[in-house]
Amino acid sequence: MIKIGSLTIDSPVALAPMAGVADRAFRELCVQHGAGYVVTELISAKGVSRGDKGSKELMQLGENEHPCAIQLFGDEPETMADAAVKALEYKPEVIDINMGCPAPKVSGHGSGSALMKTPDLAYEIVKQVVDAVPLPVTVKIRAGWDDDSINAPEIAMLCEKAGAAAIAVHGRTKKQMYTPPVNLDVIKAVKECVSVPVIGNGDICSAFDAKKMFEYTGCDMVMVGRGAMGNPWIFGEIINYLKDGTIPTPVTLEEKMSTMLAHIHKLCQYKGEFIGMREARKHTAWYMKGLHGAAEYRRQASYLNTFDDIKTLVEKVLKENSNFQ
């Protein structure tokens, strides 16, 4: 159990805010499989303030994905505060501030992980957002900008001072992007220097990874990102392993394909078949990981255009992998 301000979260595992992945369909699926807390894709504060249609769509939350945080990025305190107020309309439980995105289109303009280089600005953004909304405000940071500027503990303490209710730490620098290794020491250091809950993030691809992060860092919750792609079962596996040591067993092929179809159906329902099926291509490729003939299935997935196409592909997969366990 973890308390983020007035919010109580029963599950020890959360879904990370992945751009282009953690949309409403995927968030709902992960909650269904045990994620106790989810965060939207990162959303431009400037876009929200301008009333941008795309930003509004990203803030749409379903009834079956709570508690949920809306994550905002930007480098202007006033704009971030204004966007946070506008986000309240969509009924999130938390407002999350992105200080971790390493993508050039975000960090290259002073937002995301670039805020790790400007502690005073980071503090002011958090303070103004906290002052503007009645919800708990959290912050997601990285270890630092590069190996010569590991300053997550400093930034975390400033965020707490500004009123942040929890800190999520991705144990890599901006320069690392997503390459190994994950620095568990920096997550541990953040946990030791703040009193608010700390959420550990980075390379949690199994229940064993989650337990290792909990035991080594002392963090209050773990956040799963890429480890959940094509693998929403990871949340339940982590919960069960932490609870009673239950060793995760692979899902059956039938369950994997059934879950994938349900996921893609929701994508089409929320975004329309044209957009939904194009986004389904990458998800389908992730679900195919580990199957005999996966490379060919991924190639075929890149040509999916209709929901009937993916049903046909699933029939082929089931037939050709009937002995998959």
First to last CA, the chain: 34
Q: CA angle, corner 120, sides to 116 and 125, nearest 5?
A: 85
Global pTM reads 0.94
Phi, psi of 93 (to 5 degrees): -90, -20
State the span(s) of the chain assigned CATH 1.10.1200.80. 253-320
Question: Residue 15 and residue 17: Cα distance in Å, rounded?
Answer: 7
Could you give the C-alpha distances from 250 to 59, 135, 283, in angstroms and in order?
34, 39, 19
170's tokens:
């991705």
- Cβ neighbours, 10 Å, residue 311: 14
Residues 16-40 have pLDDT tens digits of: 999 999 999 999 999 999 999 999 9
State the span(s) of the chain assigned CATH 3.20.20.70. 2-244
Which long-range CB contacts under 8 A does 132-135 form with residues at least 24 apart? 132/81, 132/82, 132/84, 132/85, 133/81, 133/84, 133/85, 133/87, 133/88, 133/95, 134/88, 135/5, 135/88, 135/92, 135/93, 135/94, 135/95
Question: Residue 325 and residue 319: Cα distance in Å, rounded?
Answer: 14
Domain 253-320 carries which CATH code?
A: 1.10.1200.80
| Tens of each residue's pLDDT in the chain, 325 residues | 899 999 999 999 999 999 999 999 999 999 999 999 999 999 999 999 999 999 999 999 999 999 999 999 999 999 999 999 999 999 999 999 999 999 999 998 899 999 999 999 999 999 999 999 999 999 999 999 998 899 999 999 999 999 999 999 999 999 999 888 999 999 999 999 999 999 999 999 999 999 999 999 999 999 999 999 999 999 999 999 999 988 888 899 999 999 999 999 999 999 999 999 999 999 999 999 988 889 999 999 999 999 999 999 999 999 888 765 4
> What architecture does CATH give domain 2-244?
Alpha-Beta Barrel (3.20)
Q: Which residues contact 291 (CB under 8 A, 6 or more apart)?
A: 253, 297, 317, 321, 324
**Any bridge partners for residue 71, and if so which?**
96
What is the helix (H) or strand (E) element at residue 222, kind and residue range?
Answer: strand 221-224
Active site residues: 101
